[in-house]
């Protein structure tokens, strides 16, 4: 639908209860379910959980009750008046969102009164609303458009001047959000988000009556860590993100379910893309991790996926650096490794890489017989995220430190890790860095110089840094958007991300580059896919036995160890 939180798995109008068209509930001899209510929608009964809003209950019955101000995670205010329905036994129409559920509640959503109230509300909302659709980013995911089309009258009887808000239209209200109060429908979702979820309370109503608008206190812009979510919850184009402004019409965007690479909370995202360009990240609903939200840091990492600084493989010949074909580059790496004693080879993985990739790297190290394998921890930037019931505290700046460790990227007995290399205690002859953007260390010339002491230094990379400049061989790697895989987050959840679009050859996903290297080293099968790698992980890695494809389906939560899968939401 039009909500800016797509990819609600399992949703999309299909009823999950025994209602809609199904035969009536079991005869009186069967005991009724204890934690549900029987609610009738237009005469048809359905069992609904007790703790949902009537609007959500209707959705379970396959009935759409149009609304603006209601949001499943924000307090109920009943202000927009769009959700008015008739309740049997009550003469006046009632707001569905403020009507408490009870057993036997009978709701009518198709009566004349209801139809007229919806048309009336749409007319009222549109009388002052600017005809901005042609220039408004929200078009295509706009509740006002959708509800007007679905429930409004096409004509307007308004013949007065539309309300203006000089100085509060098309103006930044924060570093990432642009506000246009002429479009605002005063639903207060943004105000409630800042108050109840972010806890920062930057937004407020000013003035009253028809002159009401939403704004901040002067000098305290909308600048909390999740300000992009205020634009998400805004049902119209009153709040939009600056980074996405005017970049694409939303109906051209394809949506790939993925996981944010910004930290190890692993918020579920949708990579919104078109023609191999990532336009934006949107949060993907996952009540146990990020719920409906996405922090600004992660959200605006989207643009970084479009960086393609290393597009071809290269190899050093003496002083000169030459472009080579990937197989040739792989061959050079394999040669260098074979030409060295196993104990003198160092394999460095990355917390940015997927479980499949880190697993494969470690398998190569095993095959070669090198005990020296490591992954770097970076706790410089930790973030927090509101799940449905609690705050999730991330503790790593990369998405998959836990997974990398689980895959075995620690020195085996007798082996050494990156710390020893950097301190000079260990001096590898061959260093293979699976991801040149593994941490800030790769941009530090002094530390890179230490790594450079090795006879042979090879990296896989997408973006250039001091390490890629120093390397003997650089393999072109693809971005997160161009591969599939799994990350293991701070809660121990293994989450799958899907590929949004194919990489631009000769760049390949890290796993594919590693696979080529493995095969060149005499291990593995050229035809392996990430699925094959996952099967092997399932079989071999402790705690990952439950990570089946079933569980990973749709990129939702899955099991690991004692954590229970939530399944479709």
Partner 1 sequence: MSEKVLLARVGRRDSRSIESYLEDGGYEALRTVLTDGWTAEKLTDEVKKSGLRGRGGAGFPTGVKWTFVPKDTKGKPVYLLCNADESEPGTFKDRLLMEEDPHQVIEGVILSSYAIKCRNAYIYIRGEFYLGARILNRALEEAYAKGFLGQNILGSGFSLDVTVHRGAGAYICGEETGLIESLEGKRGQPRIKPPFPALVGVFGCPTIVNNVETLACVVHIVNRGAEWFAKIGRNEKNSGPKLYCLSGQVNRPGVYEAAMGLQMKELLFGTEYGQGMKGGRKVKAVIPGGASAAMLTAEEIEDCPLDFDGLAAKKSMLGSAAIIVMNEDTCIVEAAQNLSKFFAHESCGQCTPCREGTPWLHKVLTRIETGRGRLEDIDLLEKISNQMANGMTICVFADAAIAPVLSSVGKFREEFRYHVERKHCLVGRGASRPELVTA
Partner 2 sequence: MSRVRYSLAESGQPAEFPPEARSRIEKILTRYPTRQAALLPVLWVAQETWGWISKEAAEEVARILELSPAHVDGVLTFYTMYNLRPVGKNLLQFCTSISCHLAGAERLMERCTKRLGVDLEQTTPDGKFTVVEVECIAGCDRAPSMMINDTYHEPMDEKKLDALLDELSEHS
Q: Which residues bind partner 2 (CB under 8 A)?
A: 165, 167-168, 200-208, 211, 213, 215-220
Indicate which of partner 1, partner 2, none lies near residue 92 (CB less than 5 to 8 Å, by partner kind).
partner 1
Residue 186 binds which one of partner 2, partner 1, none, with CB within 5 to 8 A depending on kind?
A: partner 1
CA distance 283 to 300: 12
Q: Contact between 537 and partner 1 (CB under 8 A)?
A: no
Which of partner 1, partner 2, none does residue 202 bind (CB under 5 to 8 Å by kind)? partner 2
b/e per residue 549-560 (b: at least 16 CB within 10 A):
eebbebbbbbbb
Q: Which does 523 bind (CB under 5 to 8 A by kind): partner 1, partner 2, none?
A: none
Convert residues 503-522 into a mask of x (bound to partner 1 by CB under 8 A) and - (unbound): --------------------
- Minimum CB separation of residue 85 from partner 1 in Å reads 10
Do residues 98 and 90 make contact, with C-beta atoms less than 8 angstroms apart? no
Q: How far is the CB of 196 from partner 2 (least distance, A)?
A: 13
Taking the C-alpha atoms of residue 506 and residue 190, their distance in angstroms, rounded to an integer, is 44
Query: Which of partner 1, partner 2, none interacts with 217 (beta carbon under 5 to 8 A by kind)?
Result: partner 2
211 vs 425, beta carbon nearer partner 1:
211
In the complex, what is the shortest distance from the CB of residue 154 to partner 1, in angstroms, rounded to a whole number?
A: 16
Give residues 149-188 in contact with partner 1 (rule: CB under 8 A). Answer: 157-158, 160, 163, 185-186
CB atoms within 10 A of CB 538: 14
CB of 389 to partner 2, least distance (A): 25
Q: Of residues 210, 219, 413, 414, which one binds partner 1 by CB under 8 A?
A: 210
Minimum CB separation from partner 2 for residue 223, in Å? Answer: 12
CA distance 196 to 101: 23
In what order do the strands lie in the sheet containing 254-259?
Answer: 254-259, 268-274, 277-283
Cα angle 131-137-142, degrees, rounded to a multiple of 5: 70
Region of 365 on the Ramachandran plot (φ > 0 left; ψ -120 to 50 alpha; else beta): alpha
Using CB distances below 5 to 8 A depending on partner kind, what does residue 487 bind out of partner 2, partner 1, none? none
Cβ pair 348, 376 in contact under 8 A: yes
Report how many residues bind partner 1 under the rule CB under 8 A: 35
Residue closer to partner 2 by CB (options 217, 325) is 217
Binding mask 100-139 for partner 1 (x = CB under 8 A): ----------------xx--xx-xxx-xx-----------
Rounded to whole angstroms, how far apart are CA atoms 428 and 118? 72
Burial 350-361 (b: 16+ CB within 10 A, else e): bbbbbbbbbbbb
φ, ψ for residue 389, nearest 5 deg? -115, -15
| Reduced 3-state DSSP string for 18-34 | CCCCCCCCCCCCCCCCC
Would you say 46 or 191 has its CB closer to partner 2?
191
Which structure tokens are listed for 10? 């399992």
Give me the least distance between CB of 483 and partner 2, in Å please: 43
Picked from partner 2, partner 1, none, the partner binding residue 123 (CB below 5 to 8 A depending on kind) is partner 1
C-alpha 218: how far from chain center: 32
Tokens 């036997």 belong to residue: 104
Give me the least distance between CB of 208 and partner 2, in Å please. Answer: 5
414: its two tokens: 């007798």
Site string for partner 1, 46-85 (x = CB under 8 A): ------------------------------xxxxxxx-x-
Q: How far apart are CA 391 and CA 389, in angstroms?
A: 7
- Residue 102, both tokens: 């009870």
Least CB distance to partner 2 at residue 4 (A): 23
């Amino acid at each position: 639908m039009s909500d800016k939180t797509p990819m609600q798995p399992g949703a999309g109008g299909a009823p999950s209860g025994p209602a809609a068209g199904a035969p009536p509930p079991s005869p009186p001899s069967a005991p009724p379910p204890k934690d549900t209510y029987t609610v009738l929608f237009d005469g048809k009964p359905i069992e609904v959980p007790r703790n949902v809003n009537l609007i959500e209950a209707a959705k379970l019955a396959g009935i759409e009750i149009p609304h603006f101000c209601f949001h499943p995670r924000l307090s109920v205010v009943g202000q927009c008046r769009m959700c008015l329905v008739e309740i049997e036994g009550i003469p006046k129409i009632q707001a569905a969102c403020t009507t408490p559920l009870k057993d036997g509640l009978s709701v009518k959503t198709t009566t004349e009164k209801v139809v007229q109230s919806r048309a009336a509300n749409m007319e009222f909302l549109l009388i002052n609303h600017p005809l901005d659709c042609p220039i408004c980013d929200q078009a295509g995911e706009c509740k006002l458009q959708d509800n007007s089309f679905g429930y409004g009258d096409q004509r307007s009887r308004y013949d007065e001047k539309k309300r203006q808000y000089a100085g509060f239209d098309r103006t930044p209200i924060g570093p990432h959000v642009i506000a246009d109060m002429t479009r605002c429908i005063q639903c207060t979702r943004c105000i409630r988000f800042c108050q109840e979820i972010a806890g920062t309370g930057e937004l407020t109503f000013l003035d009253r009556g028809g002159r009401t608008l939403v704004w901040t206190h002067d000098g305290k812009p909308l600048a909390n860590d999740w300000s992009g979510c205020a634009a998400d919850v805004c049902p119209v184009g009153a709040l939009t993100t600056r980074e996405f402004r005017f970049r694409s019409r939303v109906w051209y965007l394809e949506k790939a379910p993925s996981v944010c690479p910004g930290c190890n909370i692993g918020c579920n995202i949708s990579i919104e893309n078109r023609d191999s360009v990532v336009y934006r990240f949107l949060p993907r609903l996952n009540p146990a991790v990020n719920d409906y939200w996405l922090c600004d840091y992660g959200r605006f990492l989207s643009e970084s996926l479009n960086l393609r600084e290393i597009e071809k493989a290269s190899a050093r010949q003496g002083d000169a650096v030459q472009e080579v074909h990937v197989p040739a580059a792989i061959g050079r790496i394999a040669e260098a490794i074979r030409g060295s004693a196993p104990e003198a080879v160092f394999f460095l993985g990355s917390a940015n890489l997927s479980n499949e990739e880190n697993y494969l790297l470690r398998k190569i190290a095993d095959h070669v017989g090198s005990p020296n394998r490591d992954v770097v921890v970076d706790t410089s930037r930790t973030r927090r995220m509101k799940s449905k019931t609690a705050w999730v505290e991330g503790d790593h700046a990369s998405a998959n430190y836990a997974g990398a460790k689980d895959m075995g990227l620690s020195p085996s007995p007798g082996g050494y890790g990156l710390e020893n290399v950097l301190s000079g205690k260990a001096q590898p002859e061959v260093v293979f860095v699976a991801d040149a953007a593994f941490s800030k260390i790769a941009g530090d010339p002094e530390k890179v110089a230490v790594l450079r002491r090795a006879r042979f230094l090879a990296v896989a990379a997408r973006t250039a840094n001091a390490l890629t400049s120093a390397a003997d061989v650089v393999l072109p790697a693809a971005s997160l958007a161009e591969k599939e895989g799994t990350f293991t987050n701070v809660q121990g959840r293994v989450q799958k991300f899907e590929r949004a679009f194919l990489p631009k050859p000769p760049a390949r996903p890290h796993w594919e580059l590693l696979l080529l290297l493995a095969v060149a080293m005499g291990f593995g099968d050229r035809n392996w896919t990430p699925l094959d790698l996952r099967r092997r992980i399932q079989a071999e890695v402790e705690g990952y036995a439950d990570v089946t494809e079933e569980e990973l389906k749709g990129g939702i939560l899955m099991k690991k160890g004692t954590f229970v899968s939530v399944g479709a939401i």
